[in-house]
Structure formats: structure tokens, C-alpha cells
Amino acid sequence: MVKVGDSAPEFFLSTPHGIEVVLAACLLEGSVLLEFIRGTWDPDSRKRIDRLTRELPRFDATKTKVIAIACERATTAARYLEQHPSPVTLLLDEDRRVTRQYGVLQKFSLPVWNVARPSSFVVDRCGFVRYAYVAQLQIHSADVDEILEVLQKVAPT
């Protein structure tokens, strides 16, 4: 698993609409919060996206881009976004390569197989992980205020 102090693994992932996003390009603008979620079909993941959406002004104040990464097909995610638009960037890891690189793939999760364990990683502008949280249970997630405290320390002044 990726830990605090590690270099964040680079990735090239697409949005549900086929737009490719590269981590290094996002870091040119500031820090990045990577939120691994089970998928847009999951009620707990939907709640997390909603919470991050409500907190976006606070993330913007620290020059942080919020990215959710889900192990699901583009059609499923696109259908969700049509009904629930969100300014949070949603990226798809259909082959689970990035989820494996970050060490958060839960291979045998009931009732579904091979999904991400809910996880949060703060990556600073230099590409280093400054915060890492991996949930023990699928219903848990990192405390947003705790993440924002870390971001305030790494935000450029």
C-alpha cells in the first residue's frame, strides 16, 4: 500500500465521457485529493461524493483538486452523473491497475468482487503522499476536516 512519504504512482485514467486525466498534470495546479470509492452504484460512495461536493469551496481554498476513482464501467458511471451531476472529477479504473498500484484493491468483497476499499490520499504538488487513509470497512471514510488540516499545511502561500 502507498504510505505517507511515498511518491504517488502516476496514472492515466479517463472520465466516464472519455476525457483522459493525468496525475502529473493535475499537480501542476496544486495538491490532489484522491478518493478511491467502490462505485457510483454504491450508496456509501454516493454519500462520499455528495460530501466532497459540499466541501469543494474548502478544498478550492487550499488549491486542491478532488478526484474520485471507481472500479466500474463508463456506462454505469455516466448514467449516474446524468442523474446526479457533480463537480468532483470522477475517473474510472476499469482494469483496476491504479487501484492495485495504490494497494487498495479488495479482491473478495461481498456483495461485489474486486472493488476499491474506500481510501483517501493527499498528494502534494511535488508528487509525494502527505496523507493516507484506508478504511477497514466499506462504510467508513476519512474525516474531511482531518484531510483539510493536512491540505492547509501543504498549500502554497
Q: Write down the pTM of the prediction.
A: 0.93
Domain tally, the chain: 1
Round to whole Å and give the CA distance between 31 and 156: 9
Domain of residue 31 covers 12-154
> Which residue spans within 4-146 are E strands per DSSP?
12-14, 20-22, 31-37, 64-70, 89-92, 105-108, 113-116, 119-123, 129-134
pLDDT at 136: 85
Give the count of beta carbons closer than 10 Å to the beta carbon of residue 86: 17
Q: Is residue 33 part of a domain?
A: yes
Give the CATH number of the domain where residue 108 resides: 3.40.30.10
7 domain-assigned: no
Lowest mean pLDDT segment, chosen from 78-87, 118-127, 138-147, 148-157: 148-157
